[in-house]
Copies of this chain bind each other. A is one copy, B any other.
């Protein structure tokens, strides 16, 4: 889990409940009620609520209570919020949003990686591309997923942009969610695998243009597949 201790347990319960809409916007919670419900002290409730407040999911107000805020105000880039939404009823919307974000960011990251990646990173990408090919052919989805995540994360890191780099975990969550919820074919498409290898080769060769273009094909394809599956 993320935050440790009792506040973490509160968060782990309240966060997903709010993120999924189970506790709808406008609902007013009271500290005392939360203390009773979870059998914890004010201290714990306050700390958990403070964190939710910093994500703009709730807004405590004197004489009123703790009001659940509308989704439009949430910190949608907060990793916890993303995870909670992916885990709950809001998964489709979250996957769509993240899909578009990937289409915007990952090609750019691939282009930058072709310029800035270290030799180690280039080697790593090559190795991962090989692994992807092998595990795809063997239809070993679990291992494939692991390497796919590493592949995309490595490129984001290799871009040299700290903000891109931090999207590695998020992309990982997307790929995991996609696999876990049967939004993937039983065996990765050979064409997609070939594109991964193309990206790796382009980055190794320092061909930013090609890396960007191939990566765009990958993520656009993923987004289209998602749209098709979700209707």
Residues of A within 8 A of B (CB): 2-3, 7, 43, 46-47, 50-51, 53-55, 71-72, 75-80, 93, 96-98, 100-101, 103-105, 107-109, 112, 159, 161-164, 166
Which residues of B are found within 8 Å of A105, using beta-carbon distances? Answer: 101, 104-105
Q: Which residue of chain B is the closest to A170 with respect to CB atoms? A: B77
Q: Are B51 and A163 in contact (CB under 8 A)?
A: no
- Shortest beta-carbon distance from A73 to chain B in Å: 9
Q: Which residue of chain B is the closest to A98 with respect to CB atoms? A: B163
| Bound form: Cα–Cα A47–B162 in Å | 28
| Bound form: Cα–Cα A106–B146 in Å | 31
Q: Are B76 and A78 in contact (CB under 8 A)?
A: no
Q: Which 3 A-B pairs have the closest CB atoms?
A: A77-B77, A104-B108, A47-B50
Copies of this chain:
2
| Bound form: Cα–Cα A43–B31 in Å | 15
Q: Are A78 and B80 in contact (CB under 8 A)?
A: no
| Bound form: Cα–Cα A51–B103 in Å | 31
The listed residue with most B CB atoms (<10 A of its CB), out of A93, A105, A107, is A105
Q: Which residue of chain B is the closest to A166 with respect to CB atoms? A: B76
Q: Are B78 and A75 in contact (CB under 8 A)?
A: yes
Contact of A54 among B51, B101, B104 (CB under 8 A): B51
Q: Are B80 and A54 in contact (CB under 8 A)?
A: yes
- Shortest beta-carbon distance from A80 to chain B in Å: 7
Which residues of B are found within 8 Å of A97, using beta-carbon distances? Answer: 161-163
Q: Which residue of chain B is the closest to A99 with respect to CB atoms? A: B161
| Bound form: Cα–Cα A41–B97 in Å | 42
- Shortest beta-carbon distance from A181 to chain B in Å: 20
Q: Can you give 11 contacting A-B residue pairs, CB < 8 Å? A: A47-B47, A51-B51, A54-B80, A77-B166, A100-B161, A101-B164, A104-B104, A104-B105, A104-B107, A104-B164, A105-B105
Which residues of B are found within 8 Å of A77, using beta-carbon distances? Answer: 77-78, 163, 166
